[in-house]
Amino acid sequence: RKLAKYLPPQIWGSLFSGKRDAKLETRRKRLTVFFSDIAGFTDLTDRLEAEAVSEVLYRYLSEMSAIADGCGGTIDKFIGDGIMIFFGDTGARGAEEDTSACVAMALQMRDQFRCLSDRWQMSHGGAALHLRIGIHCGYCLVGHFGCAERRDYTALGSTVNLASRLEGYAGQDEILVSQEVIRMLGPRLGVSPRG
């Protein structure tokens, strides 16, 4: 149970049930990849005590994880205050539905983050915090990567890199999606061009 906290539930469930082995193996799959990051979090860490930063981060990651789990996303990793999630591996529902679930998740996260940010500003002061999100879909390598002593279940490839770059270019509280996401979901998305 303790080790399970270090793996996405979809992965540890299949490992412990024997459906999947922890050997080094990868597959090429179509995934929808999500990255998020808190704009202004570094300033917060420089200003607050370690305990307060830990509490803010714990609350944020807990609430975002609950949303991701509810939408069927696989939480790949936490990178400080950043999160990488993908859809389309374990429990895939098809490219269009996986992409739609990812966008729905991003919208829920942005709304929930605004509530969290307001609470943090009232309790800790300072500038408001903002969430930046990037989403892209395409083919990736997904599986166990690493060495004999340590392995990581993750996704690699240009799709992952582009999703990360979109997050970096997103404005405050902005969800920046690629042309491929727009092509996949079409008129269901209300988007404006970013240039």
Burial of 12 (0-12, 13-18, 19+ CB in 10 A): middle
Can you tell me the mean pLDDT for 2-28?
Answer: 62
pTM greater than the 0.95 cutoff: no
CB contact at 8 A, 36 and 109: yes
What does the alpha-carbon distance between residue 31 and residue 178 come to, in Å, rounded to a whole number? 13
Please write the tens of the pLDDT for every residue from 47-70.
888 898 899 899 999 999 999 999
